[in-house]
Structure 1
Amino acid sequence: MGNWFAYTTLALWPLISIRLYRTKTVQAATLWTLLGGFMFLPVGTSVDLPMIPPFDKNSIPVLSAFLGCWFVTKRRVSILSGRGWVKWLVILFIIEPFITAELNSDAIFIGGRFLPGMTSYDALSAMVNQFIIIIPFFIGRQLFKTCDNQLLMFKALALAGLGYSVLMLFEVRMSPQLHTWVYGYFPHSFGQQMRYGGYRPVVFIGHGLRVAFFAAITLTSAVVIWQLKDKIRQFSSAGVAYYLLLVLILCKSVASTMYGFAALLLIKLASIKNQLRIATFLVLIALLYPTMSIMNIFPHQALIEWAASVDADRAQSLGFRFDNEHKLLEHGQQRFFFGWGSWGRNRVYNQENGKDESVTDGRWIITFGQFGWLGFIAEFGLLAIPIFSAVSVSKLVKSRQELIMLAAHALLASLVIIDQLPNSSLSPWVWLLVGILLGRSEALLQKYREYMRSSSALL
C-alpha cells in the first residue's frame, strides 16, 4: 500500500497528460505520457475496481494517452485497423485469454494449497487487460508515420535517460531509497539490488534490472542521434552517449550492459545490412526459444559455462533461471495450447506441502505458462512483425538518414524481444516503441507504392 501521495500521483496523471496533449504535438504528448508514467508513478499501488484491471502505473498512462488522442487531439486510434498477420494476431491476443479462462474453470488442490478455478468474470477482465496492453502499439503504428516522428522518439528516449540519470546516480551512491521516501514503501527485494559491493538504482521503476534495460535503450537512442550527427537539445550527442554508457555500467546488470555495448558498436561500426541481419537473428532466437527448449537443443549448459568464465555468481544466477524455466516449461506443457490462466496456476508447487517452488523471470515463460503456445505466438508475433517489416522495407529506402534510423530502430526492437527471454521488461512505452517501428515501415512502403504508381502514370 502506498501513502496518500502515491494515490494522488496516480489520480493526477490523467490531468497532466491532458495538459501535454493541449500544449504539445500528439506524438510528443504520447511519448511523455507513457515515458513519464514509467519513470515516476509508484510501483504496485493501484485502485482495483470490479470487472476491470487495476488502475496502476501501467494502465493509467495508457488510458490517459488513449483518451488524449481521441478527445483532446481528435486522433482516432483503432485496435483492429489494417490487414494481414497483425490483425489476426491482435484478435488472437485479445480473445485467447478469454478461452484460457473458460478452459481453466477447475479448482486445483495441491499439498494443502487451493488454487481457484477461473470464472467468466476473470475471462472478461483478462480481455479488457489485453486490450489496454496493446493500445500503445497501435498509437505508435497510426500516429508516428514520418521520419521526424521517428527522430522525435529517439531524442525523447535519450533526453529521458539523461534526466533520469541524475536520480539513478543518486541511488548508486546513496542506495535505492527514493521510492520509499516519496511513496512510503520499497517495491521489491532490497537484497536483489546489491551487486559488486554497491547498489543498483531502482528509482521509481521497481527493480534494478528494469532500470538497467531502460538505460540500455536510452543509450542506444543517443548513439542513433550521434550517428545522424544531430544534437540532443544543446548537448553533444556523442558526449551524451558516452555519459549514458557510464551510467549503464553503474547499473550493474551484465545483460543490459552487453545490450548497450553491442548496440553502440553495431550502430557506429556495422553496415545497415548487418544491423538488420543481427536484428533478424535475435528475433528468430526469441521466437524459436520455447521450441528449442522443449526439444532440449538450446545450448543452456554452454551459456552457463561461458558465464562461469566471466563471473561465477552470474553463472549461478543463470543456471537458477534455466532450472526454473525447465520446471515451468514441463508444467506448462500439460496445457500446451491455452495455458493455465491466472491465480498462480501457471506456477509449480510442492506436492506435499504446497510451497511455491518456482521463480518466473522471463516474460516468455510467464506468457507460455498463463496463455499457452497460442498466447506466446500472439504476443511475441506482434513484437516480431515490426522488425521483419523494417527489414523488408529497407530494400526500398534510398535516404541514408532514414536507413540509419530504420536499422537502429529494428536493432533496438530486437533487444526488446530478446530481453523477454531472461527478464520481463515489457511496459507501455516499449509497446509504443515497437508500434512506431511498424508504423514507420508501413509508411515507407506506402510511399514507395505511391511513387511507383505515379511513375507508371507518367509512362
Structure 2
Amino acid sequence: MNSTVATVALLLWPIVSVALFATRPAVQATLWTIVGAQLLLPVGSGIKFEMIPPFDKATIPSFCIFFGYLIAVRRPWHLRFGLAEVLLAMFLFGPIVTSMLNGDPVFAGNRVIPGVGIYDAVSAVEFGLIILLPFLVGRGLFRTEQANESIMKVLLVAGLLYSIPMLFEMRFSPQFHVWVYGYSPTDFIQQVRDGGYRPMVFMGHGLTAATFFFMTVVAAVALRRSDPPHLSRSSGGKAAYLAAVLVLCRSAGATVFALVVVPLVYLAKPKLQGRVAAIFVLLALFYPMLRVADMVPTRLMVDLAATVSADRAASLGARFENETLLLDRALQRPVFGWGRFGRSRVYDSEGRDLAVTDGHWVITIGQFGILGFVAEFGLLALCVIKAAAASRKARSFKERVLLTALALIVATNVLDLLPNASLLPVTWLFSGALLGRAEALQLVATRKPSASEADRFGRPDIFPPAPLKG
C-alpha cells in the first residue's frame, strides 16, 4: 500500500526528529518523535531492505529516539541483572529456539507453509530488538519526576490538537488518510458504528484512536488533580472536553476503561490506583491460564454485551470462538510456539484461514509459545507493578499521582491486548519510563548514590541534597 506521499513522509521523519532533538530537551524530543509519528505517519506503508524489518510507522521513530538518546544525551545505561533482564533475554532470544524447533512444514489443505530456520531466527531477533528500543530509551531517560510530568503534558496537548481532525471525521467519515496518503488502511465498514463514524485520522483504526484518547483523558485528569488551585479549573475543562471526544469515538472498550480509571485518578489515593493497575496487568498475565481452565465467564460476558447491543454481543462471541480455535492450535506446541508466517493459524481442508486473530495474547502464544507470552506480558506487567510499589517512595503527592496515573495508562493498554492487538511503540516507551523511575526511586530509598550515579540519573530530582542542620 505504499504511495509516493507515504514514502516521503517516512523519509522525512528522521529529519523532524533531528530538529526536535536540536531544539528541545531530550525528554520532550523523544515524546514528540514517538507520539507525533503515531498521530501523523501513514499506516501500512514501509521501506523494505533484504534481511531487515521494514522501516515504517513503528520502526522509524524507534530508531530516531534511540540514536537521539545516544547522541544528544550520551548517558550510558546502568548495568544490572534482575528479573527485567531475564524477561528481556527471553523476549529477544526465545524466538531463536522457536525457529530451531519449527523446521517442519505445515500442511494447510492444498497449501504448504514451509518451516522456519536460521533466517527467521535472525529476523525475529532483529524485530524484537527494534520493538524494545523505545522501552530501553524510556528506562534510561525518563527517570525523573519532571519526565513523567512531561509525558502527561505532551499527551494533553496532542489530544487537544488531534481532536480537531477527529471531530471532522466523526461528522464526515474517516477520510484524512485517503486524502493525504492516497489509500485507506482498513475497510471503511469497520469505522461505521451505531449510526455514525469512528474517527481514525492517521492511526489506522478507530479503536487505536479511541485508545489514544483514553490516554489523553487520563493524563488531563491527572494534571487536573496535581495542578495548583489557580490552574486546576483550566485543566478540568480540558479533561471534560477530551472525555466528550472519547465518548464520540464510539468505542465501548475505551469508554468503559475511562469510566473505571478516570474516577480512580481523580478521587482515589495513589496507593489504591497502584493496586488497581497491578490487578489489571495480573489479569492479563493469567488470562491464558484461565481460558485453558475454562474459568473465564465468556457466556456471561456475551449476555451482558447483549444488553447494550446485539451487534456487540455477536462481535464478542465471535472473538471468544476464534480465541478457542487459536488457543487449541497453540497448545499443540505450547512452550515455544509454531513460529511466524501463519504457521500458528487454523486452516480448513481447502487451505482457507478459519480464525480471525484479534487478541495480541493469542497471537503471541501461537507464534512463540507460553515462554514468549510470559516474556512480553511479564515485562510489561513488571514495569507497572514496580512503579506502583515505588510510588510510595515518591517525595511529593504530585509525583505519586502522575506516576500511578501513568501506571494505570500502561496497565489498561496491557489489559486491552486481550481483545485487541494494538501494542504500540508509545506503550513500550511509557513502560520503560515506569521501570526507569521505579528503579531510580528504589535506589534513593536503599542507599546513598555515588556522585557519578547522581549525575547519570538526573539530580537534584532523584537525589536531592541533604537538608541543612540547624
Q: Which residue of 2 aligns with 1:181?
A: 179
Which of these residues, 275, 283, 291, is aligned with residue 289 of structure 2?
291
Q: Contact 2:225 / 2:232 at 8 angstroms: preserved in 1?
A: no
- Cα 1:77–1:163 shift into 2, 3 Å: farther
The 1:70–1:233 alpha-carbon spacing in structure 2 relative to 1, beyond 3 Å, is farther
Given that 2:53 and 2:127 are in contact with CA atoms closer than 8 Å, whether structure 1 keeps it comes out as yes
Equivalent residue for 1:402? 399
| Residues 1:14 and 1:398: Cα distance change in structure 2 (over 3 Å) | closer
Instruction: Look up the SS of the partner of 2:112 in the other structure.
Output: strand
Q: How does 1:380-395 map to 2 (within 5 A)?
A: 380-395=377-392
2:331 partner SS: helix
CA contact (8 A) 1:159 1:232 kept: no
Q: Which amino acid aligns with 1:423?
A: N
Return closer, same or farther for 1:232/1:371 CA change in 2, 3 Å cut-off.
farther
Question: Given residue 13 of structure 1, which amino acid in structure 2 is its aligned partner?
Answer: W
Deviation of the 1:77 alpha carbon = 5.5
CA distance in 2, matches of 1:162, 1:171: 15
> How far apart, in 1, do the equivalents of 2:41 and 2:269 lie?
39
The one-letter code of the counterpart of 2:244 is L
Cα distance between partner residues in 1 of 2:29 and 2:401: 25
Residue 113 of structure 2 corresponds to residue 99 of structure 1 = no
Structure-2 separation of matches of 1:90 and 1:217: 26
What is the one-letter code of the residue matched to 1:415?
T
State the distance in 1 between where 2:77 and 2:25 align.
16
Q: CA deviation at 1:398?
A: 4.7
State the one-letter code of the partner of 2:323.
E
Task: Tell me what 2:459 maps to.
Answer: none
Give the C-alpha shift of residue 425 in structure 1: 1.9
1:111 deviates by 1.1
> Is residue 126 of structure 1 aligned with residue 145 of structure 2?
no
**Which residue of 1 is the match for residue 80 of structure 2?**
82
Shift of 1:76: 4.2
Amino acid aligned to 2:433: I
Matches within 5 A, 1:161-176: 161-176=159-174
SS of equivalent to 2:54:
coil
Q: Does 1:277 align with 2:286?
A: no
Match of 1:54, SS state, is strand
Which deviates further from its counterpart, 118-127 or 285-294? 118-127
1:230 CA drift (Å) = 5.4
Q: Identify the match of residue 193 of structure 1 among 179, 191, 204.
A: 191
Percent identity of equivalent pairs: 44
Name the counterpart of 2:266: 268
Among candidates 364, 367, 374, match of residue 364 of structure 2: 367
Task: Identify if the C-alpha distance between structure 1 residues 309 and 232 changes in structure 2 by more than 3 Å, giving closer, same or farther.
Answer: farther
1:65 positional shift: 0.9
The question of 1:114 aligning with 2:112 is answered yes
Query: Do the aligned partners of residues 255 and 438 (structure 1) sit closer, same or farther apart at CA in structure 2, a change above 3 Å counting?
Result: same
Q: Give the conservation status (yes or no) of the 8 Å contact 1:328–1:346.
A: yes
In 2, are the aligned partners of 1:225 and 1:231 still within 8 Å (CA)?
Answer: no
Q: Which runs of 5+ in 2 are unaligned?
A: 451-464
For 1:409, the aligned partner's letter is L
1:413 has 2:410 as partner: yes
Q: Which residue of 2 aligns with 1:341?
A: 339
Q: Find the partner of 2:210 among 212, 227, 236.
A: 212
| Structure 1 pair 233–106 and aligned structure 2 pair: CA distance change class (3 A) | farther
Q: Is the 8 A contact 2:285 2:377 kept in 1?
A: yes
The offset of 1:277, in angstroms, is 1.9
Counterpart of 1:71 in 2: which secondary structure? helix
In structure 2, the residue matched to 1:429 is: 426
| CA distance in structure 1 between the partners assigned to 2:278 and 2:355 by the alignment | 32
Is the partner of 1:55 in helix, strand or coil? strand
Q: Tell me what 1:29 maps to.
A: 29
Q: Counterpart in 2 of 1:20? A: 20
Alpha-carbon distance change, 50 to 231 in structure 1, aligned in 2, over 3 angstroms: farther
Paired residue for 2:327? 329
Q: Alpha-carbon deviations, 1:330-367, whole Å to 9, x = none?
A: 000011011111111111111x2111011111111111
Distance 2:359 2:437 in 1: 29
Alpha-carbon deviation of 1:119?
A: 2.7
Per-residue deviation, 1:75: 3.9
Q: Distance in 2 between matches of 1:315 and 1:167?
A: 30
TM-score of the superposed pair, with normalisation by structure 1:
0.95
CA contact (8 A) 1:90 1:382 kept: yes
User: Secondary structure at 1:334's aligned position in 2?
Assistant: coil
Instruction: Give how far 1:383 is off.
Output: 0.3
Q: CA deviation at 1:125?
A: 0.7
Structure 2 CA distance for aligned equivalents of residues 96 and 293 of structure 1: 23
Q: How does 1:218-233 map to 2 (within 5 A)?
A: 218-229=216-227
